[in-house]
């Protein structure tokens, strides 16, 4: 639908809301902690602008620019909001900051620290994905945590190379005009926008009280049993070595399609995003500051293919093929066509899925000196969009965030848990 298409287009100029919670009720000393990391990450304090005489937006950092920081206090139930069960999304959003934007400019990053007296605290942050991707923002959070921990332990303040961003744009050599092609695709889809260079996005819809966020968990043993199920039902030798990401995405996707029900002939699509830092002809540094994650993989099928006895194996095969296609020598040449094809699939599909985050980001490695987070959630996901993270308390496991209304969530939990019991 057009409404769905507009929602996905907002995903290109996307803001992502992430909430991290810690059990700690001592004086953290925020006046010291919040100042250290920004000299290495100055673009976070800047603004995106897009003037009429420029092909694409750019980040402008002025001398007095700062990152917006909100500090608050709440009497909400910390254990409830930092848990794995169903939590009201409207309440979670009170713990993340707004990201100011207009037609002419948009902030890149904002922070909110909320104290739960005698319980713990949360750090919520909102990022503009036109400026940076999840890899960059998680790198910043780890750098911030690293510096704070050094300060608390009275050590010399320094950043390791792995947490020091590369800001040199000369590394990116676009010899194919890809940037112009991608911008034209986005502009062609901005129906009703008089200013095609506007950095504003459609007003967010009201968050109803029945909208909840929950986290599904796959243990390492669960993943291995699901992997073995594929091996015993598939003949393709490439399915002998499947990543945890492919297994988790495929299993969750089949549960989502089953939970939706409806006509088996209806079209459904799922997408795959990839980090292109290492996939360019001249690879970028792993610490390159920016957004190098692009939606480039799409698969459209009939719902019936995912709800049958071999639906999970089918999903694994399709996602695995998308992953393998990223290694194609012509991948860079076809990015624009693949990107445009995503929107054709959205128009034609009754259901589409995508993943925010990754089980390889190590989000639970953030230690500011008072231990790892109790919970990390991406609270901006909606519908069949899911988030993925490494499991907090077990290597090899996966945490999968899902956001939908309570009735749908109960159905998802039923398919998810019953499927594991039968594996």
Tens of each residue's pLDDT in the chain, 423 residues: 333 333 333 444 457 888 898 886 655 555 556 667 788 899 999 999 988 888 888 899 998 888 999 999 999 999 999 999 999 999 999 999 998 888 888 999 999 999 999 999 999 999 998 889 999 999 999 999 999 888 888 888 889 999 999 999 888 877 678 888 888 887 777 666 666 677 776 666 778 889 999 999 999 999 999 999 999 886 676 777 899 999 999 999 999 999 999 999 999 999 999 999 998 888 999 999 999 998 888 999 999 999 988 999 999 999 999 999 988 878 888 888 888 888 888 888 999 899 999 999 999 999 988 899 999 999 999 888 999 999 999 999 999 999 999 999 999 999 999 999 876
Active site residues: 129, 367
The residue ranges of every structural domain in the chain are: 2-189, 211-360+382-421
pTM over 0.85: yes
Torsion angles phi and psi, residue 372, rounded to 5? -75, 165
Give CATH for domain 2-189: 3.30.559.10
State the SS3 of the chain: CHHHHHHHHHCCCCEEEEEEEECCCCCCCHHHHCCCHHHCCHHHHCEEECCCCCCCCEEECCCCCCCEEEEEECCCCHHHHCCCCCEEHHHHHHHCCCCCECCCEEECEEEEEEEECCCEEEEEEEEECCCCCHHHHHHHHHHHHHHHHHHHCCCCCCCCHHHCCECCHHHCCCCCCHHHHHHHHHHHHCCCCCCCCCCCCCCCCCCCCCEEEEEEEECHHHHHHHHHHHHHHCCCHHHHCCCHHHHHHHHHHHHHHHHHCCCCCCEEEEEEEEECCCCCCCCCCCCECCCCEEEEEEEEEECHHHHCCCHHHHHHHHHHHHHHHCCCCCHHHHHHHHHHHHHHHHHHCCEEEEEEEECCCCHHHCCCCCCCCCEEEECCCCCCEEEEEECCCCCCCEEEEEEEEHHHHHHHHHHHHHHHHCC
211-360+382-421 and 2-189 share a CATH fold: yes
Tell me the CATH architecture of domain 211-360+382-421.
Answer: 2-Layer Sandwich (3.30)
């Amino acid at each position: 639908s057009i409404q769905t298409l507009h929602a996905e287009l907002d995903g290109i100029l996307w803001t992502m809301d992430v909430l991290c919670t810690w059990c700690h009720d001592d004086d953290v000393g925020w006046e010291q902690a919040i100042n250290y990391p920004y000299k290495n990450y100055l673009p976070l304090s800047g603004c995106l602008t897009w003037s009429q005489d420029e092909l694409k937006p750019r980040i402008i950092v002025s001398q007095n620019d700062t990152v917006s920081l909100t500090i608050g206090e709440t009497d909400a139930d910390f254990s409830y909001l930092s848990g794995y069960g169903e939590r009201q999304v409207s309440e979670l959003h009170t713990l993340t900051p707004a990201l100011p934007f207009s037609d002419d400019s948009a902030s890149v990053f904002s922070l909110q620290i909320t104290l739960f007296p005698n319980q713990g605290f949360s750090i919520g942050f909102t990022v503009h994905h036109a400026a940076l991707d999840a890899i960059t923002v998680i790198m910043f959070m780890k750098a911030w945590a690293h510096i704070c921990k050094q300060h608390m332990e009275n050590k010399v303040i320094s950043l390791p190379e792995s947490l020091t961003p590369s800001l040199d744009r000369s590394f990116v050599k676009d010899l194919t005009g890809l940037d112009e092609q991608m911008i034209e695709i986005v502009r062609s889809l901005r129906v009703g926008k008089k200013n095609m260079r506007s950095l504003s996005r459609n007003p967010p819809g009201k968050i109803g009280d029945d909208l909840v966020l929950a986290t599904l968990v796959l243990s390492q043993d669960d993943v291995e049993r699901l992997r073995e199920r594929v091996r015993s039902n598939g003949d393709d030798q490439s399915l002998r070595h499947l990543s945890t990401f492919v297994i988790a995405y495929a299993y969750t996707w089949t549960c989502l399609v089953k939970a939706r029900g409806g006509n088996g002939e209806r079209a459904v699509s799922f997408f795959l995003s990839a980090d292109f830092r290492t996939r360019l002809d001249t690879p970028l540094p792993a610490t390159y500051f920016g957004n190098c994650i692009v939606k480039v993989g799409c698969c459209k099928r009939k719902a019936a293919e995912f709800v049958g006895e071999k639906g999970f194996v089918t999903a694994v095969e399709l996602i695995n093929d998308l992953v393998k296609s990223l290694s194609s020598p012509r991948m860079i040449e076809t990015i624009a066509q693949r990107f445009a094809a995503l929107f054709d699939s959205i128009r034609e599909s009754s259901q589409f899925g995508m993943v925010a985050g990754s089980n390889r980001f190590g989000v639970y490695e953030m230690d500011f000196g008072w231990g790892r987070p109790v919970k990390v959630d991406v609270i901006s996901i909606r519908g069949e969009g899911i988030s993925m993270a490494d499991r907090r308390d077990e290597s090899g496991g996966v945490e999968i965030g899902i956001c939908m209304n309570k009735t749908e969530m109960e159905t998802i939990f039923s398919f998810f848990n019953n499927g594991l019991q039968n594996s």
